[in-house]
Amino acid sequence: MNFVYERFLGGKNGALAIAILAILILVIFPLFLDAFRLNLVGKYLTFAFAAVSLVLLWGYGGILSLGQGVFFGLGGYAMAMFLKLEASDPESTKIQTTPGIPDFMDWNQLYELPWFWIPFESFTFTLLAIILVPSIFAFIIGYSMFKRRVGGVYFAIITQVIAVILTVLIVGQQGYTGGINGITDLKTLNGWDIRTDSAKLALYFINALLLLGVIMLSKFILTSKFGQLLLAMKDKEDRVRFSGYDVSNFKIFVFCVSAVIAAIGGAMFTLQVGFMSPSFVGIVPSIEMVIFAAVGGRMSLIGVVYGTLLVNFGKTGFSETFPELWLFLMGGLFIAVVMFFPNGLAGIWNKYAPKVPFLRPLVNSSTNAETKSAPAKIESESTIEPESTTEGAKS
């Protein structure tokens, strides 16, 4: 029990932060938002998976990936392929030249289901694919790059290029992928109509619980020795290497984990929004995910969830209220955050909460707990002394 408390929740303060987040998304939102807004929040929370994956990869690992949309998309497409096959039964597609295949294949003169679609008729296979396809893909990318010691800005550019390639591939091969329209008109999951309000509510809770689970798992990873090594690598990679660790293996591992987390978000996105399209795979969504993490505070697993929610609420709210001005307002928000709060929402909290008497005990105890479990975790990375970090990792 104590093990779970310290490692999965991150001590007293971590547990409190998770509890507050859980109350917010599991109790307050469902109580106070109507079905439409709740479904929107559900959609935002699927992006939070990608933001959490970036905390591991970028915040702690120091590896900036501008291609998280690729993994979000792989997870989303795997789920969409299963749902599309279920929606394309011969009865509802009887006006097609070839009934029983997805409608866009029929429009593109395909007369039978392509081989790689066939396994997606199985739900078990689909669930496995959501985990395995992104991790294998991430492994291949990670292995070929980290083993050659490609890192930093080169890695960021290459991941971005991969996002472009995948988008072009999906758009170009529209007979197999649905092209620029994406995979639309998804109806049921194993016979369960996912378009109804009750289904959306259920999916919202599944999504929220999965997100909390992923956050706790990430916490566990970060409070382990592996988490300390990650930080050490970020600060002084050579030192870790000379200490006898194979740095590239750790990087490959964290890249794969972050890919799987993003993919789970993608799959939940498809379920809640009802379609998947290449506009979640390319550069723009991938960079948006980085923005979510930056606004929330890339060193904070909980902070990025709030960051994602804030940015998306802003996007929806501004665009509803000022349809012609909203992009400028969003731009203003990003500039303000980057200029005044380089550590994001989490940074604001850590800086100002101690000054409020009523919040002080909460913050102080938290800092202690964090220091105990992860000596290297300090809010502002600029103050990190390479010496102390490496020692923390060794000890």
Helix (H) or strand (E) holding 336: helix 326-340
Q: Which is nearer to another protein, 119 or 175 (CB)?
A: 175
Q: Please provide residue 144's backbone torsions phi and psi, each rounded to the nearest 5 degrees.
A: -70, -20
- DSSP class of residue 327 equals H
DSSP run (H or E) holding 188: strand 188-189
Please enumerate in sequence order all residues whose Cβ is within 8 A of that of 32, keeping only pairs 6 or more positions apart, or say none. none
Q: What is the rounded CA–CA span in Å between residue 293 and residue 95?
A: 46
Phi and psi angles of residue 194, each rounded to the nearest 5 degrees, phi first: -85, 5
CB 315 within 8 A of CB 326: yes
Which residue stretches of the chain are H helix?
A: 2-7, 11-23, 29-32, 35-54, 68-87, 103-107, 123-146, 152-172, 174-177, 197-223, 225-235, 237-242, 247-273, 283-296, 301-321, 326-340, 344-352, 360-373, 386-394
Q: Which is nearer to another protein, 145 or 311 (CB)?
A: 311
Give the residue with the Cβ less far from another protein, 14 or 278: 278
Name the minimum Å distance from CB 240 to another protein: 41
Q: How far is the CB of 359 from another protein (least distance, A)?
A: 35
Measured from the CB of residue 76, what is the shortest distance to another protein in angstroms?
11
Rule CB under 8 A: which residues touch another protein? Answer: 34-36, 39-40, 43, 95-97, 103-104, 106-109, 168, 171-172, 174, 179-182, 184-187, 195, 273-275, 277, 279-280, 316, 319-320, 323-324, 326-327
Task: Report the nearest approach of another protein to the CB of residue 109 (Å).
Answer: 7
Q: Least distance in Å: CB of 130 to another protein?
A: 19
152: left (phi over 0), alpha (psi -120 to 50) or beta: left
Q: What are 78's two structure tokens? A: 């795997």
In single-letter form, the type of residue at position 76 comes to G
- C-alpha 13/C-alpha 301 separation (Å) is 13
Structure tokens at 322: 């000022």
Cβ distance 262 to 71 under 8 Å?
Answer: yes
> Nearer Cβ to another protein, position 34 or 238?
34
8 vs 318 by CB, closer to another protein:
318
Q: How far is the CB of 188 from another protein (least distance, A)?
A: 12
Nearer Cβ to another protein, position 35 or 362? 35
Minimum distance, C-beta of residue 328 to another protein, in the bound complex (Å): 10
Instruction: State which residue, 168 or 209, has the beta carbon closest to another protein.
Output: 168
Closest to another protein by CB, 36 vs 116, is 36
Residue 185 CB, nearest approach to another protein (Å): 5
Closer by beta carbon to another protein, 1 or else 31 = 31
The residue among 68, 59, 44, 20 whose CA lies nearest residue 311 is 44
Strand partners, 189: 192
